[in-house]
Structure 1
Amino acid sequence: MKQMSLHGRTVLITGATDGMGHRLAELAAEAGATVLLHGRDAAKLGKTEGRVRAKASGGGVRTYRADLSDLEEVRALGEELNAREPHLDVLVNNAVVGGGADTSRREVSAQGHELRFAVNTLAPALLTRLLEPLLSAAAAARVVNVASMGQAPFDLDDLMFERGYEGVEAYCRSKLALIAHTFSAAARLRERGTTVNAIHPAHLMDTSIVRESGFAPAVGVDHGAEPTLRLVADPALEAVTGRYFDRFDDAEAHSQAYDTEARERLEERLADLLGGHGF
């Protein structure tokens, strides 16, 4: 992959203390970005900050702690970023909850929402909305939503998967909902000059989430970090928005993501679920 510069640009990466998020943060720092690291564990954030700072090429490194399974902490994170940062050039919504070690166990968030939907769909939708002022203050800002080729239709009458629960399917439903929301957010933010795209970075990367879910890792995290960095940094993609990428390729997501009625209903549900938190 060609070398790309991020000098003078500020990049926020959620879920940056492990796996692909950690490697993406290193690559962004090497490319000259000021990197904002998000994580939920203060000790891991401190270690990650040191490693990323060692890779820095002209930009700074700052940390932000929040548990994205708690919408109140997502809101607090948004408020802290808006207070501390003058602008934000790139938001990478990377934090994720996988299928889980026991896929029959349905877990819930602090607000009682199904955990995978809460972290993988609700949190990035809310954080993006909260950070719109910072994104609008930057020239040609970008939002990159880390999705998955694992996609399953979400049930608009059972978004919280209370019937027939299974963890991997819950993960796949949440990722398709994220892609559908990506397309809606792209249309809404186009006039502000902010692009919004989704990406499947790589299949079965060597991460704790893949191993916890019982899958054998097939590729290293660089395999996913490099195509994600392209969406973050490539000047050729500056005006590209509302797309789903399978690594480096502009690809087709599951057909439900292109269903206008399904997307409108999903946005209505997101507004209901997130309205009290600043959406």
Structure 2
Amino acid sequence: MATLLITGATSGLGRYLAFELVRGGHVVLAHGRDEKRTDALVEELRATGGRAEGFVADLASLEQVRDLGARVAAAHPELDVLVNNAGVGTGAPGTGRELSADGHELRFAVDLLAPVALTRALLPTLQANSPSRVVNCGSLGQAPLDFDDLEFTNDYSGTEAYCRAKFALAAHTFALARKLTGTGIHVNVIHPATYMDTAMVREAGVGPLNTVEDGAAGVLALAVGELGGEATAGFFDGEQPTLANAETYDREVQDRLEAELDRILGP
């Protein structure tokens, strides 16, 4: 049985994943931004007979992201799966450019910097428990980065910002997988489903096309090792392997992105 940290576990896809995993006998470490909602989720999970623990952090703060990683590693040195599920969507129609606690563009901060920083904080723990897995929840909606305006200060669009962040998350996943070759840590990225019935989709004014149950199947299979086997650096559309935007595989793009991440987060 695995010990998994799921970010954004108090609603939507993350909540569904948490219940499915505890029912399967796994230990779920449920991250949430709100303490009351996180505590309530853990109580519900335990009421099913599952093993669960809550961890609270605002992923728009890099200090809190790193603290989350440190607390999880200290409390659960057996951690062997990280599911980076939490994210910020495109925003409500007409939403302007928003900033994180650290002054970064919000979608860039939560959808890219937070999972990168959390993964880095937990890599020693994951390697100690290899074979282990990192599952990054991405999107088929991807738009190449503008390295001259990485945090989108000009002609801002929430939809474009989201797609750029998901492009960057895929490119980072592939670069990280290459770096971790031989460590036993398998790193993959998945588009769970298109327009799932989640708060971020409803906020954008889009009618849902899929349920969170539809989106959960591939994420669950990747998280417990039933999908992809020993694969790493994979991109999945649900349960089907597919390809990300062609530019995410460009080594020059990956290397430039990793250099920028090191500049912002530290090596």
- TM-score, normalising length: structure 1: 0.93
Percent identical residues: 48
- The structure 1 residue matched to 2:44, chosen from 42, 46, 51, is 51
Aligned with 1:27 (options 20, 23, 32): 20
**Counterpart code for 2:147:** L
Cα contact 1:161–1:170 (8 A) shared by 2? yes
1:173-184 mapped onto 2 (5 Å cutoff) = 173-184=164-175
Per-residue CA deviation, residues 182-238 of structure 1 (Å, 9 max, x unaligned), is 001111122210000000000111111100011111121100111110101134634
Any unmatched runs of 5+ in structure 1?
1-6
Aligned to 1:131: 122
CA distance in 2: counterparts of 1:53 and 1:65, whole angstroms: 17
Match 1:12 to one of 1, 5, 11 = 5
1:122-167 deviations in Å (ceiling 9; x for gaps):
0000100000111011131000000011111111111100111000
For residues 200 and 51 of structure 1, what CA distance do their matches in structure 2 show? 27
1:112-151 equivalent positions in 2, closer than 5 A = 112-151=103-142
Q: Do the aligned partners of residues 175 and 56 (structure 1) sit closer, same or farther apart at CA in structure 2, a change above 3 Å counting?
A: farther
State the Cα distance separating 1:56 from its structure 2 match: 4.2
Correspondence for 1:199: 190
Query: 2:51 matched to 1:69?
Result: no
Q: Is the 8 A contact 2:73 2:79 kept in 1?
A: no
Secondary structure of 2:188's counterpart equals strand
- Give a deviation string over 1:9-30, Cα, whole Å, max 9, x none: 1010000000000001111111
2:188 alignment partner AA:
N
The one-letter code matched in structure 2 to 1:155 is D
CA contact (8 A) 1:148 1:200 kept: yes
Q: Offset at 1:239?
A: 1.1
- Residues 206, 236 of structure 1: CA spacing in aligned structure 2 closer, same or farther, 3 A cutoff? closer
Deviates more, 1:232-241 or 1:221-230: 232-241
Counterpart of 1:40 in structure 2 is 33
Q: Does 1:95 align with 2:86?
A: yes
Distance 1:56 1:211 in 2: 32
Tell me if structure 1 keeps the 8 A contact 2:31–2:56. yes
Secondary structure of the 1:157 match is helix
1:84 and 1:72 map into 2 onto residues whose CA distance is 18
Q: Distance in 2 between matches of 1:161 and 1:220?
A: 31
Residue range with higher mean Cα deviation, 95-104 or 163-172: 95-104
RMSD: 1.2
Pair 1:220 & 2:211 matched: yes
1:162–1:35 distance in 2 versus 1, CA, 3 Å: same
- Which SS does the other structure have where 1:63 is aligned? strand
Cα distance in 2 for residues equivalent to 1:56 and 1:274:
39
**Unaligned stretches of 5+ residues in structure 2:** none
